[in-house]
Amino acid sequence: MHAVRERVAALLFGTAAVLCVVAVVLICLFLVINGAPALIHEGIIPFVSSTTWQPATDHYGILAMVVGSLYVTAGALIFGVPLGLLTAIYLSRFASPRIRRLFQPLVELLAGIPSVVYGFFGLVVIVPLIRQIFSVQGMGVLAASLVLGIMILPTIVTVSLAALDAVPPAYYEGARAIGASHERCVFTVIVPAALSGIVASVILSFGRAIGETMAVVMVVGNNVRLPTGILEGVRTMTANIVLEMGYAADLHRSALIATALVLFVFILAINLLFSLVRKRVRS
């Protein structure tokens, strides 16, 4: 009976793994097949390197959207990673058990808030604040970066906190035994030991930030142009897809799917790069 249960469990787990792989393969095939007409029409290099996006004349170039996505994602990481990491360090090594029990669920609750709520918060709070401080329109890279920075906090805090808690107590005790202060032990022993998990939190946060759509659409300005500053409005790849897919047809629709394909490949490449960095950190 025990052997039968093990075989059934192995079959279920194997089936789930196969279904995941099949789903990824089907998504790749869908993107390649449906995006190929636009890539063939424009050429892969011109499609990625041109800033001309004119569906009316069948000219499609997504460089402005690619750069806009990178600007917004980089801004979100610059804002969110230090804040999230410091929060995780505080909850893991400095906060009392009572404070941790109070604040940890509140941080995790941020992950359950719909993205449209974040976008609405950015639209009615962050955008007017930027408009008042800098005397600009308000919608742009900075507003989108701040909204996304808040959205990725739960991922950074949760994953980094788990990595910090997983560090063996002997590391801390050994550092204390040779006379190191509590703060020195945390920042020179515990944090480096948990660096692999911290890098993982950055990877997950990057994927969340660059793939976000609704909140970004509401605050980024959606102007198809290369950004020259963080206060200017831009359009990201995800925003471009959601704004135009509703009425797109034929080559225009293929160009939007090709944009999704570029985003898909870009995320895979970045995740692979971060994974290599993570392996080096572990070694």
pLDDT digits (tens, 9 = 90+) for 99-134: 999 888 888 888 889 999 999 999 999 999 999 999
92: Cβ contacts below 8 Å, ≥ 6 apart: 161, 164, 165, 190
pTM, 2 dp: 0.89
Cβ–Cβ under 8 Å, residues 230 and 71: yes
User: What is the model's pLDDT at position 281?
Assistant: 63
Q: Report whether pLDDT(139) > 90.
A: yes
Domain-embedded: residue 54: no
In this structure, the answer to whether residues 111 and 9 fall within a common structural domain is: no
In this structure, the answer to whether residues 11 and 98 fall within a common structural domain is: no
Q: If you ran DSSP here, which 8-state letter would residue 163 be given?
A: H
User: What is the model's pLDDT at position 75?
Assistant: 95
10: Cβ contacts below 8 Å, ≥ 6 apart: none
Domain-embedded: residue 56: no
pLDDT tens profile 212-236: 888 999 999 998 989 888 999 999 9
In this structure, the answer to whether residues 258 and 199 fall within a common structural domain is: yes
Backbone angles phi, psi at 60, to 5 degrees: -130, 115
User: What is the model's pLDDT at position 203?
Assistant: 86
Least confident of 25-39, 66-80, 95-109: 95-109
In this structure, the answer to whether residues 118 and 6 fall within a common structural domain is: no
Q: How many domains does the chain have?
A: 2
Q: If you ran DSSP here, which 8-state letter would residue 59 be given?
A: E
Residue carrying structure tokens 């995790």: 108
Q: Average of pLDDT values for 180-197? A: 91
Residue carrying structure tokens 């279920």: 12
User: What is the model's pLDDT at position 283?
Assistant: 62
In this structure, the answer to whether residues 82 and 35 fall within a common structural domain is: no
Domain-embedded: residue 276: yes
Backbone angles phi, psi at 181, to 5 degrees: -75, 170
User: What is the model's pLDDT at position 112?
Assistant: 86
What's the domain range around 94? 63-282
